[in-house]
A and B are shown apart, each in its own frame.
Chain A
Amino acid sequence: MDRLKPRVKIPESAKPDEVMEIRTMISHPMETGYRRNTRGEIIPRHIIDRFTCEYAGQMVFEAKLGPGIAANPYLSFYVKAVSTGPMTLTWHDDRGESQQVVKQVNVEL
């Protein structure tokens, strides 16, 4: 996988029950496997096929991605702040590689 760090925006702190916007973007070619190079050979498929977000001990968001998604997939979603703890974002690609970002979320009472 590309060694560029994924870009992630998570609020550092939130109030209980506040709805947080999570923005993520990862640098990835998202090669469909349908394209050919100048010599007519198929460029092997290489896509991120799964994204997960774990927070407060459970999976709060999961996405399955297909070859129709453009390069550098951008995902944003909303999560309700319930407890202080790490939020773990993981991107899995179809070559069995993955990239992970862990950020601490502080929920102030």
Chain B
Amino acid sequence: MAEPTQVKDPISGFDYLSAPNQKLQRDEFANPGYFRVDSGKTLFNDASQGNACGDCHDAATMKDVTLKYPRHDAEADRLVNLSQQINECRVERQNREALEPESEEMLSLTAYLGNLSRGRTIDVTVTEETRPFFEQGREFYYRRRGQLNLSCAHCHEQSAGKRLRGEVISEGHSNGYPAYRHIWEALGSLHRMFQWCNEAVRAQPFDKGSEEYINLEYYLKWRGNGLTVETPAVRR
């Protein structure tokens, strides 16, 4: 494959929202994603089971943490996303149990950390080490799948801006996740969204936290270079 071209002036999912939903996302009180941001902050500083996250990490210095994930883990030679990093910390340094990817606690922590980066610009540089995973993510993105035989690119690259029944297809960027989706009536992770998308083209979804999804997460983040973090975003 030729060297991938960066999306020029990527359009955030925010720009595809109706005015009331844009207003809801901007409103730091009424945006329902902030329930999780609040509880994430409490969990971050919760020392009831031994040392809290906040005992080692100063939240004030973590404003660009979410921008750095998925990162390359040299020891295991794979990419690690933020949820897995949180679990690694919990098991190895906090002596706590690992959390399920879509558990309330995990969503709260990732929403809180994501919110710290709100407004920061995504700028992923693919390195020598991350190149193979990037390529796998890109391959996933362009691979046709499911009964409808569609790749991510068929909708989110070739048809972005066109209508699909009552909806306008977005460019499918990841800058707002974890995001509050109206159809879920809840905050959900990016991997939940991947599963939802895979099911929408009638494909068998992968597991949350699977290698396939983490590589895709990395590719998508690069694809959204230049966008700002909107966590917790509001989406349809």
- Say whether A and B bind each other: yes
Contact of A29 with B185 in the complex, beta carbons under 8 Å: yes
- A7, B34: Cβ atoms under 8 Å? yes
Whether A25 is near chain B, meaning CB under 8 Å from some CB there, is: yes
- 6 further contact pairs, Cβ within 8 A, besides A4-B38, A9-B29: A4-B35, A5-B39, A7-B34, A7-B35, A25-B35, A27-B35
Q: Are A25 and B29 in contact, with the CB atoms below 8 A? A: yes
Is residue A72 contacting chain B, with contact meaning CB distance below 8 A? yes
- Is B197 part of the binding interface, using a Cβ–Cβ cutoff of 8 Å? no
A7 touches B185 (CB 8 A): no
The SS class assigned to the A binding surface is: loop
Q: Residue A74 contacts which of B30, B39, B185 (CB distance < 8 angstroms)?
A: B30
Q: Are A4's CB and B34's CB within 8 A?
A: no
Give chain B residues whose Cβ lies under 8 Å from the Cβ of A9. 29
Closest Cβ of chain B: how far from A9's Cβ, in Å?
A: 6
Q: Is the CB of B32 closer than 8 A to any CB of chain A?
A: yes
Return the CB mask of A1-35 against B: 1 if under 8 Å, else 0: 00011010100000000000001010101000000
Contacts of A71 in B (CB 8 A): 185
B interface, over-half SS: helix
Of the residues B30, B36, B185, contact of A25 by C-beta under 8 Å: B30
User: Residues of A within 8 Å of B, CB-based: how many?
Assistant: 12
Collect the chain B residues with CB atoms within 8 Å of residue A5's CB: 35, 38-39
Which residues of B, 24-68, contact A by the 8 Å Cβ criterion?
29-30, 32, 34-36, 38-39
Q: How far is the CB of A97 from chain B (nearest CB, A)?
A: 17
A residues lining the B interface (CB < 8 Å): 4-5, 7, 9, 23, 25, 27, 29, 70-72, 74
Contact of A4 among B29, B30, B39, B185 (CB under 8 A): B39
Q: Report Cα–Cα, A74/B197, bound state, in Å.
A: 30
Closest Cβ neighbor of B42 among chain A residues: A5
Alpha-carbon distance between A65 and B29 when the two chains are bound, in angstroms: 21
A25 to B180, CA, bound (A): 15
User: A-B pairs with the 4 shortest C-beta distances?
Assistant: A71-B185, A4-B35, A27-B35, A72-B32
Query: Which residues on B sit within 8 Å (CB–CB) of A25?
Result: 29-30, 32, 35
B39 — which chain A residues lie within 8 A by C-beta? 4-5
- Closest chain-B Cβ to A68's Cβ sits at a distance in Å of 15
Is A23 a contact partner of B185 (Cβ separation < 8 A)?
A: no
| Residues in chain A near residue B32, CB distance under 8 A | 25, 27, 72
